[in-house]
Amino acid sequence: MNISDNKVVHLVYQLEVDGQIADSCDASRPLEFIFGAGYLLPKFEENIAGKTVGDKFDFRLSASEGYGERDERAVIDLPKTIFMRDGHLAEEILFEGNVIPMMNADGGVMPGTVVKVGDQHVTMDFNHQMAGKDLHFTGEILLVRDATAEELTNGLHGERQGCGGKCGSCNGDCEKGCDCE
């Protein structure tokens, strides 16, 4: 059976960024998703479309095909006061490199990375952590099957939204950079 829309796919992969392994999953916890349902980067899906069990893949995505170019307008200073809880500054989360889920004006959650903590402001970067990076994927297809009606309605494992994949390094936590956003 070939990979096409509405097929459940299990695969293993390794993602290399700037010559370093940035993410991977193995056969004990493969990435699982419904093809064509928007779980993965469109160009990733394009590169595995038509493959079948046992097929290997090796492809590169430019930054624009992956998570986009960095946008310096997405690096902003926020007043430190928005990090107050019960009248106290949430200092335990305010350190450089920490990713904090923030809410945008539409009520959506956007992960932001703390760049700098100043006296009055916190500089946050709302670019995706892989923005501006070229991505090199290698891997193998482990399973391809038809998705059930329930899976098409509710997603894999009963998930209506969020992470369809369960890769080993992020354990299904999309904020850590899986390719399942």
Residue type, 132: G
pLDDT in tens, the chain (181 residues): 999 999 999 999 999 999 999 999 999 999 999 999 998 999 999 999 999 999 999 999 999 999 999 999 999 999 999 999 999 999 999 999 999 999 988 999 999 999 999 999 999 999 999 999 999 999 999 999 999 999 999 988 755 433 333 333 333 444 334 444 3
Q: Hey, what domains does the chain have and what are their CATH numbers?
A: 7-66+131-176 (3.10.50.40), 72-125 (2.40.10.330)
CA torsion 115→42→163→15, rounded to 10°?
-60
- Spatial distance between the Cα atoms of 23 and 66, rounded to a whole number of angstroms: 14
